[in-house]
Chain A
Amino acid sequence: MAPNQPEIPLQHLDEVVIRFAGDSGDGMQLTGNQFTETSALFGNDLATFPDYPAEIRAPVGTLFGVSGFQVRFAAKDIHTPGDRPDVLVAMNPAALKVNLGELKEGGLLIVNRGNFSPRDLAKAHYDHNPLDDEKLAENYQLVAIDLNEATLKAVESTGLSNKDALRCKNLLALGMLYYAYGRPLAHTEDWLKKKFASKPQILEANLLALRAGAAIAENSELFKVVYQVNPAPLPTGTYRNIGGNQGLAMGLVAGCQLAKLPLFYGSYPITPASDVLHALARYKNYGVTTFQAEDEIAAICSAIGASYAGSLGMTGTSGPGLALKAEALGLAVMVELPLIVVDVQRAGPSTGMPTKTEQADLLQALFGRNSEAPLPVLATSTPADCFATALEAVRIATTYMTPVVLLSDGYIGNGSEPFRVPAIETLPSFPVRFHTEREGFLPYQRDDQSLARPWVIPGTPGLEHRIGGLEKEDGTGNVSYDPANHERMVMLREEKVARIAESYPPLEVYGEQQGEVLVLGWGSTYGAIRGAVNRCQDANLSVGMLHLRHIWPLPKDLGDILQRFKKIMIPELNRNQLCRLIRSEYLVDAVSIPLVQGRPFTSTELLGHIQDLHA
């Protein structure tokens, strides 16, 4: 950028993984997001993974107070935020200690030397200063500078207090990285201007720090090389960066627009699902009503009530909340009203590790209700996929008059990636028509095709009728204890759900279409599996990949595909839940690859498992 940088060599890279790590007060999420957005505008493919501490704001400098944000940006199509980072930015000793182990050998290590006082070191339980350790500079490209001092100097002119001035140090670090990767400052400058429009002094300081970072990096030749990661050859179209929970909210809103229904979201906050509520609460001008209920039970009940009254009722939660909704979900099955229940899964059991990810609510979603209460279960697999999966949930709920469980997880919900904004014409259309015809009306008369019952909303003259959780007589919906009727109704409810599979598009296997190993996945393992399978292809291993959006009912063509491979491998962030289902449905000896560490698989791990299966 600056003219006088002849001697710094420029290296082209395919992709880079940067992890920003610091105290939760250090603004690492913000820094990471800015880097992500700038790279997105630049045209890279991207994936991010924020890693918050469990505490809101832990005491400064402690190990449990470390907040991280990983971004992977690439000149190619990528699917995960990367396994181990190429670059680590560590704002204090605690951040260094927690993250150093994962930095690639020889990776770039930027450390804020200004925060390595004995007190800081003690808080991170270091008994010596790791920066004094020679091995650090041997093993990594160490850039240890005093960001505090640099920041104070840079913003001196604003007259801010030291405390406020130091708040800008993350922008200084960001500026350095922008320089290193040849990125313009403009996007972040614009963003700062908007954010601090009413606080000119703070704005000025932040701008100064950002620019100073770039300048320092350039002038002091901090980096031995600078890098270039070209734009990725993404399919043409308009893109935006999207977070999983945000994408889900947008998809739900879009779905209701397509169904021509008002959206009612009744929810009770819970990590990591709360952001769906927060996002929807901002969509009030899209016919969205949000209701923060007193608990999860009230949340789902209010949503059922809203669907009964003619909105599309939805509720969102995480695993413990889904458990609480079980009884009411059974009611929704019985009264056959549309309803969407979002579960952004987290690590359990019980309260578990709320800020960590897991995929272990699958069997709960399928079977966690009294008696036979079948319902469709969908799973989204990436932040960008949330939009389409949400649309599909709305389509199924309204077409089949059924509650739907939509599984996401913390990794998807908090992660982000570029999302190709669909053209409106390409979206499916499924407008809802309420039933108003008196002639021959029966509350439980079914559509021949879908077996859905009519959706009649209170206020419709002449169609007054009663529904409820007691077993109902086929057709009339009156209470019935007749044994044969009960069996008929149980089977009708089951059959209705089974028929949903008739509306799926054919499954698409990625990679080999038959052969040695099929990696069968669902949910957030998508990126890691895709990465591993790509690497297999490079290594000429025969591997196919199939990723399920529809977990229940299972796609009709799944059985055939399973037959085409010698071995089926199912990696899941649980102990074997999809695997259990597949084994019982198809009697294939699928191999479970479980991981329950509150973190996603790495592609490398999966590659190893695939190689083992080939051995």
Chain B
Amino acid sequence: MTGPDLVAADTVERAAATAGQPQPYAELGLKQDEYEKILAILGRRPTAAELALYSVMWSEHCSYKSSKVHLRQFAEKAPPSGALLAGIGHNAGVVDIGQGYAVTFKIESHNHPSYVEPHQGAATGVGGIVRDILAMGARPIAVMDALRFGPAAAPDTARVLPGVVSGISFYGNCLGLPNIGGELDFDACYAGNPLVNALCVGVMQHGDLQVAEAHGPGNKVILFGSATGPDGVGGASVLASATFGDASAESAAKRPSVQVGDPFTEKLLIECCLELFAGGLVTGIQDLGAAGVACATTELAAAGTGGMAVRLDEVPLRDATLGPPEILMSESQERMMAVVEPGRVAEFLAVCAKWDVRAAVVGEVTGTGRLVMTWHGEPVVDIPAATAADGPVYTRPLARPAAQDELAASDPAALPRPAGGAGLRADLLALLASPGLADKSWVTDQYDRYVRGDTVLATPEDAGLIRVDEATGLGIALATDGNGRYCRLDPYLGTQLALGEAYRNVAATGARPLAVTNCLNFGSPEDPAVMWQFAEAVRGLADGCAVLGVPVTGGNVSFYNQTGTTPIHPTPVIGVLGVHDDVRRRPGIGFPAGAGPAALVLLGRTEPEFGGSAWAYVCHGHLGGRPPMPDLEAERRLAGLLAAAAAAGLLAAAHDLSEGGLAVALAESCLRGGVGCTVQLSGQLSGQLSGSLAGDPFTALFSESAGRCVVALQPGADEAFASLCAEYEVPAQNIGATGGGSLTVTDCFSVPLDELGAGHVRTLPELFG
């Protein structure tokens, strides 16, 4: 066997001498023209290590080559925002929330790994996004997870879902981060393509912001955290077989594509990094994510003075048989790379030692503009760093598919509606018991929502709410939303609906929405129909953010979510962050117990809008027509009203209306508070824009018109609230009052709370044990 030091490294010298030797670029996912570009950049063939590096850096995942031309709109159309301290292009965006605090948050996908190995895939997804937040200089304070699976009753869902949930639970709980919310939905389009999107949010003081830049020639480059192993380098096997001969090809064939999470090491890494930041020992820092050392070194170098010299043989290894390409591509978790002034290296290493974190000086910053890597003294990489960091950019063809018209023509207005009170009652119970709308405790009980002691609201509330400052009550609210059905019908409007819903969820706590993150889950960008969906979604989001006055601060794109030629529904997941001036004044969704009856007011306008609705899907298996029409100006006024009413202490409860409409929202508020309500659907509307809901209880109960919310008022708040509604021009309708032990719709139906909750609570435990 060849020893580690003898692994036949493909050196720059050898590459220059064998300039014409064919390379396995196609197997590594590079197109011929991309390979030719590399040849042109280098003036010779790339070494195996260089080929590995370019192939991962120019992958869709790292280079955003198909999405870049569209994502630009987020900056171009961004509304003016005084709150943005760091925007797109950083590991995560940073927002000023006042009182000297800054918040950073981002959502990222780990879809494919979670399908292959659900527990570890989801766990490492959480680990990865937490490191992104940490790299900004912030202390991570909470996580969220947005999940989509195939049909709830499918055998493969029984394999994937429990594993994903246990992975998120394992990693997040062990890190000590409260899980404050997320999403769970099911649809056949996600069978084989589950979506696992993880969000992390962190807090810091303004001055604590860190940068991912390697400046100052002579500064040291330190790799710290876990040792580097063969994790996730399955793809490197073709390189090994092409360049190293048979023995190592055999061992390479065994390289795992599965990464294993080590949350304990990550917890130590977090505390270690925060102590390093506090000590001023770091001039630049980058987390190691998908493309490991390749990505961290090129991005740090390209963003700084451009040059770096790295000794790959100094990288601490868990497996001594790894060679340069594998070290560059390894996706071993729980690693970070820092740039440190030479005089501070000893202090840096001492802090690492205190936290039992392995650290090694692996190189220096240079002023050459070139990224040079050696292996036992021999150069194996010598490239202009910027060429790897700035990948190719494609303007992919896009085309609105013809089937889009057929879909729109399939109007849910033609579906048979429930007859009378009994029919409405039955449909409500069916909706509440459907997997997508059922009680999520089976999942969320596995997540720690209390740790750190600052969780004010968590699942199943509209938004998570975390206290940031104990003295003043300053806090942040966060919600994520995405509706694949709406987006399938119209990706532009569907994305705006998702944005509007997340925005409204944040507003329902009394917080002011400030900024947006997003995870764009789509099929193959090489399919013009998917590319059209993507372009529409991005345009919808950018336009929507401009209207709402909240900038996109970052996000992530996940393409290739498809089975064969069938893509998933376009599923942008939108996260909105808001600031709460006093978390003690937050209404929850639960109707108040123990108090007298509270007046119920429905805010917003209700139109007969059933395209993509939960009712059409659950009760008829139907998807067609047009999604509800978002009105983001109205959404903005509603948010203003809610913040003002919460601040004035007028709200006893607030719950936004979304899937399942008013009926489902009322049921959720009843069940959460353990208190019933009686509503009349004939009350007069204060706004002048829309007629009364009388005469059409079906639409009143199940329509999914956007921009609506139901609130329960504090005793005696009616007048003050009515005048606020007038001031913010929000249509408001008194629909009844809380109280009693059932959900009663006058002249229609009544359901005791026990019955209301029975199916709702039973669904997921019956499916998943």
Q: Do A and B come from one complex?
A: no
Which A residues fall within an 8 A CB radius of B? none
